[in-house]
Amino acid sequence: MQFQFKIQIKGITKPPVWRRITIPANFSFFSLHIAIQVSFGWEHAHLFQFSPKGFGSRPIIKEYYEDGADYDFEDALDAEEVDLFEVFTKEKQKFTYIYDFGDSWEHTITLEKILPDIAMYPMLLDGKGKCPMEDCGGVWGYEQLKETLSDKTKPEYEEMAEWCGLEKNETWDPEEFNLNETQKYLIEVFLVNKN
């Protein structure tokens, strides 16, 4: 059995940023975290958590840290120990994934379909919108960045273009998303981790 999820970053429009994936139902929440990171283009550089409705809702499912970096999450569940089928039980069910507690990127996860077929690894089916850059200041910072990079006459344009790694004549496109390239990378990540 596998799940088909639509995962969308909250608060971003024009264009919205979302991905549609399938993932085996017996995979852990940590595997879902990795699939989300790869599918969106995040860099797995910050803390994350899953919970029903975001901050303040329980249960919290997160990565376990032996060094005690658990903040106020004494009752948190280890993302590597909780399988998806233990939480997701019916279509249309929603859950929240938060990545980077500073920028607070909230993603709405919607279980679109429960599929009977068996898969060995996640698949990226569809998506829209370029993923925000790490550490750009959350939704507000990303919207400011989009606005700045859409107009080369803005005083901050050169600085922001350099920060984003744009070449001299390169433009930044918030619609950019390469489904085939991202899917190929997603398969590579999960095949390497299986060995």
Residues, the chain: 195
pTM summary value: 0.91
Tell me whether residue 110 is in a domain.
Answer: yes
Residue 150 lies in a domain: no
Span 104-162, pLDDT tens digits: 999 999 999 999 998 889 999 999 999 998 998 899 989 988 888 888 888 888 888 88
Please give the full DSSP string across 84-98, using - where no structure is assigned.
GGGT--STT-EEEEE
Note whether residue 141 is domain-resident.
no
Q: Contact, 117 vs 6, CB < 8 A?
A: no
Residue 149 lies in a domain: no
Query: To the nearest 5 percent, what fractions of the chain are helix, strand and coil?
Result: 25, 25, 50
> 21-63, pLDDT tens digit by residue?
999 999 999 999 999 999 999 998 899 999 999 888 889 999 8
Q: Could you list the residue range(s) of the whole structural domain that residue 65 is in?
A: 2-131+177-194
Question: How sure is the predictor about 68, in pLDDT bands with cuts at 50, 70 and 90?
Answer: low
Dihedral angle computed from the Cα positions of residues 175, 176, 180 and 181, in that order, rounded to the nearest 10 degrees: -150
Give the CATH number, domain containing residue 188. Answer: 3.10.290.30
Residue 1's pLDDT band (cuts 50, 70, 90): very high
Residue 187 belongs to some domain of the structure:
yes
Domain membership of residue 172 (yes or no) is: no
Q: Is residue 93 part of a domain?
A: yes
The helix (run of H) or strand (run of E) holding residue 18 is strand 18-24
Q: How many domains does the chain have?
A: 1
Separation CA 37–CA 68 (nearest Å): 24
pLDDT at 195: 41
